[in-house]
Amino acid sequence: MDGASAWRGAAFAALAMISTAQAAAPATTLHARPPHELTADEFVARLNRELGELVIERESAGWVEDTYITADTELLAAKASERLLGYVSQAAEDARRYQRQALSPATARALLLLRQGLSAPAPRDAAKRAELARLGARLEATYGAGKYCEPAKDGAAAAPCQSIDELSAVLATSRDYAALTEAWRRWHTISVPMRADYARFVTLANEGAREFGYTDLGAMWRSGYDMPPEAFAAEASRLYGQVAPLYQALHCYVRERLARRYGAERVAPGQPIPAQLLGNLWAQEWGKIYDLVEPYPGASDLDTDGALRAQHYDAVRMVKNAEQFYGSLGFPPLPASFWQRSMLTRPRDRDVVCHASAWTLDLKDDVRLKMCAEVDTESLKTIYHELGHLYYDLAYQDQPLLFANGAHDGFHEAIGDTITLSMTPAYLERIGLVTGASRSREATINQQMKQALDKIAFLPFGKLIDEWRWQVFAGEITPANYNAAWWALKRKYQGVSAPLPRSEADFDAGAKYHVPGNTPYTRYLLALILQFQFHKALCNAAGYHGPLHECSVYGSAEAGRRFRAMLAAGASRPWPETLEKLTGTRRMDAAAINEYFAPLAAWLREQNAGQRCGWDG
């Protein structure tokens, strides 16, 4: 799947197009010869073929595990992972013999990508490999099945257990301090049982990464960006530094509004904001508290949630809405199998991993979406996000497997979000989800605030998750201070504090899907910055002149053509080249996101004048 466990980035999609007939003949020839007799080109051709079969098997097992969590599906998923991990370890070992040979650029790149495709490589030791695969599957299932069940009191019937749906809904809608704190606490009980498994998982995956030639798993993750790992860490910090001032301004304004609601003794000037007050279990996106911070009440109608409900949207219709947008750019309709095989809403009868993800099961056209959609704008945007992954997979399906991936993982995460930037009030009015869209200054600031609560608020979160994991993998954070270090980073970057006293009996990082799911997270920080660069480039291609935040590329064939050309290149070239083709620059850069939010930035400066912004480190 894209953005999840087995492979970094898109599950090495697309190898695929190997129909059995195509695959059979060369496989037999090559199989008959031991690896040391193959030329590097032959070796890569064989990898592209064999890896595809194993990835397909793992994706099928992963799909069933995630959509039908039981002990059996967990076991089958672990077995399929184990086989893939074993194959990649052996292949990486075999590939060493080509190290000193002169290779074509494409072959050299394929061998480089082979070593970077896994999000957790296994040790060569078979028992350890099996254990790593089991732990990965168990962490995934434990998160997916996680719920809070109140212990039954004497004589009373047990209350129904609460899943992430109910607890998220409390965080989004309640404005009662105690209720918010309690819902937050409940969700953070689900990760306690993961703590020991996670620590062992880290030990084993690090061992695998070292055998692959990296200092630890964090260094391996940081090596996936066509630059040395140290340079990448510096690059991520540079990019974050470009946007941190805007985050700090938003934080200052929101804190002041929350203090009005909850009292200055709970939300104090110069102090971090209690994490349960921001509308989201992880305080990662704050859009749900828009009503508490709306700059100009009544200046605009941005209630798309209400419109979706009033117009009786359901999950299928929301996906059709997204498909229609992509169609307006020249993307193809989703195949019939998408509609038959996707899981769009939470099934009533079984545990599933509700965290949204995009899958390409046969690495060709069998694309699927797995999510538990609600009828609201957040789900609608998630659908656009996931369709971005699927259209990327479809676009590069003719690349050899090792190139059938995003230019880097941040590209993969940015595609659908780029499209959502075109869901301007004018576009939403056109499709009937907003009435009387206004371009007044007040309406613009309202709209920008709404966007910033999700996009700008996310930035420090996008930075800190892997900051924590990089230090965990490097041994700088140990199980003895997992939780203390987590909250130190939450405080440093987000300026939020733990709702309740925490201890090392807790494992709060594990309550965020990507930690048990072992999905690298810096990709989302990169995606946030890149999506504005892509948006600007597409607006230029569409011939748009005007403020960036008012541009929608809906219906532009030329923007669609340029976008699809980028997607089709997959990972075949180093990402700066791919970026340059679309945007004219080889660097990721926050200038476009800052340009987009310029009206809000100026407004926040006025609002925050005289405030004590920032927080004690």
Give the residues lining the site for ligand X8Z (CB under 6 A).
3, 356-357, 382, 385, 524
**Measured from the CB of residue 416, what is the shortest distance to Zn ion in angstroms?**
7
| Maximum CA extent, the chain | 76
Tell me whether residue 282 or residue 313 sits nearer to ligand X8Z (CB atom). 282
Q: Which is nearer to Zn ion, 251 or 381 (CB)?
A: 381
**CB of residue 220 vs ligand X8Z: minimum separation in angstroms?**
20
Helix (H) or strand (E) holding 368: strand 367-370
Taking the least distance from each CB to ligand X8Z, the nearer of 44 and 489 is 489
Q: Which of ligand X8Z, Zn ion, none does residue 67 bind (CB under 5 to 8 Å by kind)?
A: none
CB of 67 to Zn ion, least distance (A): 18
The minimum distance between CB 428 and ligand X8Z, in angstroms, equals 21
Q: Which tokens hold the place of 258?
A: 């929350």
Q: How far is CA 334 from the centre of its chain?
A: 22
Provide, rounded to whole angstroms, the least separation between the CB of residue 520 and Zn ion: 12
Minimum Å gap between C-beta 406 and ligand X8Z is: 11
Smallest distance from ligand X8Z to CB 102, Å: 39
Give dist(CA 453, CA 440) in Å, integer. 20
Nearer Cβ to ligand X8Z, position 356 or 567?
Answer: 356
Minimum Å gap between C-beta 477 and Zn ion is 26
CB of 499 or CB of 517, closer to ligand X8Z: 517
Whether the Cβ atoms of residue 175 and residue 292 lie closer than 8 Å to each other: yes
Torsion of CA 491, 493, 499, 501, to 10 degrees: -30
Q: Hey, what are 613's tokens?
A: 């912004």
Beta bridge partners of 360: 367
Which partner from the list ligand X8Z, Zn ion, none does 399 bind, CB cut-off 5 to 8 Å by kind? none
Long-range CB contacts (< 8 A, 24+ apart) of 602-605? 603/295, 603/445, 603/448, 604/246, 604/249, 604/250, 604/252, 604/253, 605/249
Among 203-211, 376-384, 407-415, 559-567, the segment contacting Zn ion (CB under 5 A): 407-415
| Residues 334, 335, 336, 342, CA torsion sign | negative
481 C-beta neighbours (distance < 10 Å), count? 14
Q: What's the one-letter identity of residue 416?
A: G
Characterize the bridge pairing of strands 496-497 and 273-274. Answer: parallel
Quick check: helix, strand or coil at residue 465? helix
Q: How far is the CB of 430 from ligand X8Z (least distance, A)?
A: 26
In whole angstroms, how close is the CB of 132 to ligand X8Z at the nearest point?
22
Q: Measured between alpha carbons, how far is 5 from 120 in angstroms, rounded to an integer?
A: 8
Burial class (CB in 10 A: 0-12, 13-18, 19+), 310: exposed
| Rounded Cα gap, residues 568 and 71, in angstroms | 39
Shortest separation between residue 291's beta carbon and Zn ion, angstroms? 27
Phi, psi of 118, deg, nearest 5? -90, 145
Q: Work out whether 229 is an interface residue with Zn ion (CB under 5 A).
A: no
As measured in angstroms, the least distance from the Cβ of 458 to ligand X8Z is 7
Q: Output b/e per residue, 344-380; b: 16+ Cβ within 10 A.
A: bbbeeeebbbbbbbbbbbbbbbbbbbbbbbbbbbbbb
DSSP 2: B
Residues 409-438 that bind Zn ion (CB under 5 A): 413
**Nearer residue to ligand X8Z within complex by CB, 281 or 613:** 281
330-339 contact pairs (CB < 8 A, 24+): 330/557, 330/560, 330/561, 330/564, 331/391, 331/560, 331/564, 332/394, 334/367, 334/387, 334/390, 335/365, 335/366, 335/367, 337/365, 337/366, 337/367, 337/368, 338/367, 338/368, 338/369, 338/390
CB of 145 to ligand X8Z, least distance (A): 18
Closer to Zn ion at the Cβ: 384 or 597?
A: 384
Q: Which residue is nearest to ligand X8Z (CB)?
A: 3
Q: Which CB, 44 or 369, lies closer to Zn ion?
A: 369
Nearer to Zn ion, 50 or 409 (CB): 409
Closer residue to ligand X8Z in complex, CB, 287/499: 287
Q: Which of ligand X8Z, Zn ion, none does 184 bind, CB closer than 5 to 8 A by kind?
A: none
Q: To 10 degrees, the CA torsion angle through 53, 58, 63, 66?
A: 180
Whose Cβ is closer to Zn ion: residue 307's or residue 353's?
353
Q: Which of 360, 68, 112, 335 has its CA nearest to residue 220?
A: 112
Least distance to Zn ion, CB of residue 537, Å: 20
Q: Reduced to 3 states, what is the DSSP secondary structure of residue 527?
A: helix
CB 184 within 8 A of CB 276: yes
Which residue number, 362 or 393, has a Cβ lying nearer to Zn ion?
393
Measured from the CB atom, the residue of 304 and 382 that comes closer to ligand X8Z is 382
Q: Among ligand X8Z, Zn ion, none, what binds residue 408 when CB lies within 5 to 8 Å by partner kind? A: none
One of 3, 224, 295, 495 touching Zn ion (CB under 5 A): 3
Query: Which residue has the CB atom at the shortest distance from Zn ion?
Result: 3
Residue 356: contacted member of ligand X8Z, Zn ion, none (CB under 5 to 8 Å, by partner type): ligand X8Z
Residue 10 or 434: which CB sits closer to Zn ion? Answer: 10
Element at 177 (helix H, strand E): helix 177-187
* Helix and strand numbers, DSSP H then E, in the chain: 24, 4
* Residue 401 near residue 14 (C-beta atoms within 8 A): yes
357 is in the binding site of which of Zn ion, ligand X8Z, none (Cβ under 5 to 8 A by kind)? Answer: ligand X8Z
Q: Which positions touch Zn ion (CB under 5 A)?
A: 3, 413
